[in-house]
């Protein structure tokens, strides 16, 4: 890989070493939690208290501070999962496999939240809980893809084989991601078009946009925390016979 | 990169391209079914199904909403800024229903060419702003005379 500078390659090689990953994430975790809580507090205060009500929807629009970041995360985590799965397939890096399978439950959670909050908002605003338009349907398929990944991983006993199967499923499912994103532009849907991510000026007032972006960032950190915690547990259970795990446990017992 | 890894990478890339093409063709062939609603132009040009339920989407024409009698029946016109279709609906309208708002109605055309809706859903646009901004925008818009 001649395109990637040397220090980055070295960083990834170090990160791919289980003991190093375990120790580093342990030291990072408190910082991640602090940053997450600060962002969440700022985002919620800004979104629920400081931001003005909408000209049409009044205060009901405030559900976007949960709905939109969750929906973004559901797509983002899926891409991370597929890329990590792909790296695991090609380079056979154990940690990449672990990151992929640890991402699935977090992503499924965010997808579920996006669907539920959207439904709660849809009833008063659209007049219906659910419609089978392209955006809602493709997002539901995303939830099933996540559940499929979780189920497939659980169904195969040998975890290295399971990781490969899961990576292939995740990679094939990636076609759904652009479909979800562009569904509101390619077809007539009940769901409105993109507000923030369209290339010209976002059609949301700055006072409402800043808390939204803060919440999106907070959710990113929540994902990091939840995914890394799952990855650490998964790593310990896979490496339970490795020397570094045994020595760590015996050290802990002596203390 | 080692040959074995290169081969696996190529395999994955080929798989992604294959899946992409399959999805692309499938969506292309289902394109009509994936449209959630017909536009008013489709209806005027006769592309919408006759004697069958379908969905009609458009903007409620300003000044077209009438309530004949004291019941829940309401008459209004929908437009896509080129053709208009009259709509009749009996029932409770969603919060966001108002003149100038995009809506999706589910129903069928009757013999007089009136769309009789059984369900009316509001389609929210992607704009979020405080009331005072919307107010100043509206006055600015009226001076410039334009829609949207």
Residue A125: pLDDT band by 50, 70, 90 thresholds? confident
> Which residues in chain B are closer than 8 Å to A190, comparing Cβ atoms?
36-37, 104, 121, 123
Question: In this complex, do B121 and A188 lie within 8 Å of one another by their Cβ atoms?
Answer: no
Residue B126 to residue A194, Cβ atoms within 8 A: yes
- Reading the block at residue B61, the tokens are 């024409």
Torsion of CA B31, B34, B36, B42, to 10 degrees: 20
| Average of per-residue pLDDT values in chain A | 89
Residue A201: pLDDT band by 50, 70, 90 thresholds? low
Choice between B71 and A118, residue whose per-residue pLDDT is larger:
A118
Contacts of B96 in chain A (CB under 8 A): 56-57, 125-126
Q: Given a cut of 80, is residue B65 above it in pLDDT?
A: yes
What pLDDT does residue B146 have? 43
Mean pLDDT, range A5-28, rounded to an integer: 83
CA angle B23, B27, B30 (to 5 degrees): 145
Out of A56, A192, A205, name the one closest to residue B123 (CB). Answer: A192
Segment A17-34, tens digit of pLDDT? 888 899 899 999 999 999
| CB neighbour class for A82 (10 Å; exposed up to 12, middle 13-18, buried from 19) | buried
pLDDT band at B37; cut points 50, 70, 90: confident
How does residue A179 score in pLDDT terms, banded at 50, 70 and 90?
A: very high
Residue A198 pLDDT greater than 80, yes or no: no
Q: Of the ranges A69-78, A153-162, A181-190, which one carries the lowest mean pLDDT score?
A: A181-190
Most confident range (mean pLDDT) of A102-106, A188-192, B45-49 is A102-106
Contact B34 A131 (CB under 8 A): no
User: Per-residue pLDDT for A140 more than 60?
Assistant: yes
Pairing mode, strands B38-39 and B115-123: unpaired
Say which residues have a Cβ less than 8 Å from residue A149's Cβ, sequence separation at least 6. Answer: A81, A101, A104, A166, A169, A170, A173
Closest approach of B77 to chain A, Cα-based (Å): 19
Dihedral of CA A119/A120/A123/A129: which sign?
A: positive
Is a pLDDT exceeding 90 seen at residue A77?
A: yes
Q: Which two tokens stand for residue A2?
A: 């001649």
**pLDDT recorded at residue A255:** 58
The alpha carbon of A226 is separated from its chain's Cα centroid by a whole number of angstroms, namely 9
Q: What is the pLDDT of residue B147?
A: 40
Mean pLDDT in residue range B43-58: 83
Res A227: pLDDT: 96
ipTM of the complex: 0.72
Distance, CA of B36 to CA of A126 (rounded, Å) = 14
* Both structure tokens of A190: 């009940």
**Contact residues, chain A, for B9 at CB < 8 Å:** 90
Burial state string for A162-191 with b = 16 or more CB within 10 A and e = fewer than 16: bbbbbbbbbbbbbbbbebbbebbeebbbbb
Cβ contact, residue pair A55, B121, below 8 Å: no
The band of B148, judged by pLDDT with boundaries at 50, 70 and 90, is very low
The alpha carbon of residue A154 is apart from the nearest alpha carbon of chain B, in Å, by 23
Of B8, B93, B130, the CB nearest to A207: B130
Tokens of B74: 């309401």
Give residue A199's pLDDT: 53
Taking CA–CA distances from A133, the nearest residue in chain B reads B36
């Amino acid at each position: 890989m001649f395109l990637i500078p040397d220090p980055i390659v070295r960083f990834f090689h170090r990160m791919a070493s289980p003991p190093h990953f375990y120790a580093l994430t342990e030291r990072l975790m408190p910082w991640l939690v602090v940053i997450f809580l600060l962002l969440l507090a700022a985002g919620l205060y800004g979104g629920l208290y400081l931001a003005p009500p909408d000209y049409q929807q009044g205060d009901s629009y405030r559900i976007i501070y949960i709905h939109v970041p969750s929906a973004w995360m559901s797509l983002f985590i899926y891409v991370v999962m597929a890329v990590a799965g792909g790296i695991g397939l090609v380079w056979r890096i154990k940690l990449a496999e672990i990151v992929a399978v640890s991402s699935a439950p977090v992503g499924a959670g965010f997808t579920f939240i996006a669907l539920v909050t959207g439904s709660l908002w849809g009833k008063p605003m659209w007049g219906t809980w659910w419609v089978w338009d392209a955006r809602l349907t493709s997002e539901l398929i995303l939830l099933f893809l996540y559940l499929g990944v979780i189920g497939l991983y659980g169904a195969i006993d040998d975890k290295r084989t399971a990781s490969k199967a899961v990576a292939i499923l995740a990679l094939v499912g990636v076609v759904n991601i652009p479909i979800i994103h562009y569904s509101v532009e390619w077809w007539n849907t009940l769901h409105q078009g993109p507000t923030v991510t369209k290339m010209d000026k976002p059609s949301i007032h700055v006072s409402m946009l800043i808390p939204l972006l803060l919440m999106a960032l907070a959710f990113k950190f929540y994902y990091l925390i939840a995914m890394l915690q799952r990855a650490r547990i998964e790593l310990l259970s896979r490496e339970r016979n490795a020397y570094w795990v045994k020595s760590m446990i015996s050290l802990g017992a002596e203390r | 990169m080692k040959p074995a890894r290169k081969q696996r990478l190529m395999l994955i890339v080929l798989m992604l391209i294959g899946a992409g093409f399959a999805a692309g063709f499938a969506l292309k062939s289902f394109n009509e079914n994936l449209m959630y609603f017909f536009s008013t132009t489709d209806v005027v040009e006769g592309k919408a199904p006759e004697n069958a339920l379908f969905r009609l989407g458009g903007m409620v024409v300003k000044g077209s909403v009438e309530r004949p009698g004291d019941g829940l029946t309401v008459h209004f016109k929908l437009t896509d800024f080129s053709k208009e279709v009259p709509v009749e609906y009996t029932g409770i309208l969603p919060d966001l229903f108002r003149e100038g708002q995009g809506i999706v109605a589910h129903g069928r055309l009757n013999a007089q060419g009136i769309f009789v809706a059984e369900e009316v859903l509001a389609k929210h646009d992607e704009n979020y702003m405080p009331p005072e901004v919307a107010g100043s925008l509206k006055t600015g818009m009226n001076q410039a005379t334009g829609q949207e």
